[in-house]
Each structure stands twice: as structure tokens, then as C-alpha cells.
Amino acid sequence: MPSELLNTDMTVLGLAHGHMHPTLMPSAHRHNEVELNFVESGAMTYLFGGARVVVRTGQLAFFWATLPHQVIQVREETRFHWLTIPFSFFLQWRVPAHFLQRVLRCECLVGSGEPTLLQPQFQQWRSDLQAKSEERNQIVLLEVEACMRRLALTIATAGDSSYAEDVQHVEPRVLSKIEQMTCFIAEHYAEPLHTQDIADAAHLHPNYAMSLFRKHVGMSMLDYITRYRLAHAQRLLITTDANVSAIALAAGFGSVSRFYSIFKASCGLHPAEYRGGLRLPVFAEEH
């Protein structure tokens, strides 16, 4: 199978921070941390699967970076901060249940912040992390959790005042099982997967695993796996010239006919139609 069709290797960044002019990425990458971006100036566009996400001056973007993503467009004056936090730390935060579910589904959540407050905050986090101090690291994690809870308020469903207040205590043991199952799927979605495989990864009975997964992720295991596979296929349709059959198999679909059926039902277009309407232009910075 051509290397461009293979699943992107998962890298490990840990608790880390950077402040830079973003560069265009010729290919997608992924890592198992959650990532927080703050655009200080300019604008940048990400590609998540088949979705373009624009993050503009003063905005925050937060996502679980296990879904392959890449920067495909950058304004010349853009500067941004990025911060990565181990997924296990994020799962311990008391964020609203709906916010947690959207992150687990690998959505990129974008909200507005106050630049005069966020810029010095990110600079402080950078200084703290450079100090290599366990105490400073813990302070950063507490402050980032507060920032994410505030972000949850800004992106709360319009008219639903209960959305941002829906904070539920989940036992650490349960969170550990959710982490094991979602991470296993993220690593293996392009391979043949069965409920038993996923349950075994978390040392659970399949029936209990399915119930626990649906309760805390908000969708079935099958729908979750399909979400990853569709995103993989969409990215390849947009960024490569590979034929549809090869893409279907590379993304983990057991048959080309099944891929066509699921793709049309989910995207409203046949794969070739989707590719024709969304093919990326040659990467370039905006001036």
C-alpha cells in the first residue's frame, strides 16, 4: 500500500508549549495529547479529516490531536501559541459532559477569548514549563483546566443554559476504561475491529464496554470507529490522487461497496463528487 495512504504514526509530545509563526504542513500528523491553540495575530486554517477549521486572531482552538490534522493555510502575520496536555490529565478535569463528549469525538472546538488576558497567560505557561518544575507544571494544568471550563461557557449551545453547568463526577476507574477504549480505537481504526477487541483492551465484558462507551462518549463504538474511518478517507480524497478503492481499504472499510454506502449517507455525495468539490489547491501562505 502506498505510504501516503497509511495511517499517520502517533507521536508523543507530552506537556509542552510553543510560540511561533505556524508553517504549512505538507502532510497530516497526530499525537495522543489534547492541544490548545491561541492565535495571537493573523489566522490559520486546519484540515481535520474533510473539515476545514479557521482559527482567527483572539480565538482559542481545542482538540484531541489523535485525529490526523494539518495546517493548510496561514496568513503572513500569524503568530500563535500551542500547548499540548497528556490525554489522561484532560480526562481528570471537571469539564461539562457535552464538552467532554465533543472532545472525545475529535471535534475541534473554537471559541473567542480576551487577547489582553490570554497572551500574558500563555507566556506565563511557557515560562513555567521551561522551568522544569513539577509544582509549576501542576499550576499550569490547574490554570489550563480553568481556561477550558471558561471555553466551554463560550461555546455553550445557544439558549441552553444547562449546557455549561452539566459537570458530572466520573470515577477515575471509569475514565481510565474510556481512555483505554478510545485510545485503542484511535490506534487501530484502520484495521478490522470488533467489540471484543476494544473490550479486551480495557479488560471489560463486551456488553458492559458498549454500555459504558455509549454513556460517556455519546455514540456507539461502531459509529465512533466509522467517524475515524470517514475522516481518514475524506483527508485522502482531498490531499491525494489515490483511487477510491484504495482509499476505502486504507481507511479501514471492509469493502468498497460498504464505503460508498456509508460515505454517501454521511456526506451526501459520492466520494468522487466530494473530491471534485473540495480538492485542495497548492499550499501557499496568504499575504
Residue 196: other Cβ atoms inside 10 A = 11
**Grid coordinates representing 96?**
461539562
In the chain, % of residues over pLDDT 70: 89
Structural contact between residues 97 and 169, judged by C-beta atoms closer than 8 angstroms = no
Query: Which residues, other chains included, contact 221 with Cβ-Cβ below 8 Å and sequence gap of 6+?
Result: 181, 185, 195, 198, 209, 210, 213, 214
Per residue in 95-145, pLDDT tens?
Answer: 988 899 999 999 999 998 788 889 999 999 999 999 999 999 999 999 999
Largest pairwise CA distance in the chain: 56
**Grid coordinates representing 25?**
504542513
Distances (CA, A) of 168 to 105, 119, 237, 257: 18, 31, 39, 41
E strand segments, 168-248: none
Domains of the chain, each with CATH number or no CATH: 3-154 (2.60.120.280), 172-278 (1.10.10.60)
Per residue in 137-179, pLDDT tens?
Answer: 999 999 999 999 999 988 875 445 545 455 556 778 888 999 9
Per residue in 177-230, pLDDT tens?
Answer: 999 999 999 999 999 999 999 999 999 999 999 999 999 999 999 999 999 999
Q: What is the pLDDT of residue 51?
A: 87
Please determine, for residue 5, whether its predicted confidence score (pLDDT) is greater than 80.
Answer: no
Please determine, for residue 284, whether its predicted confidence score (pLDDT) is greater than 50.
Answer: no
- Alpha-carbon distance of 53 to 66, in angstroms, equals 16
pTM: 0.84
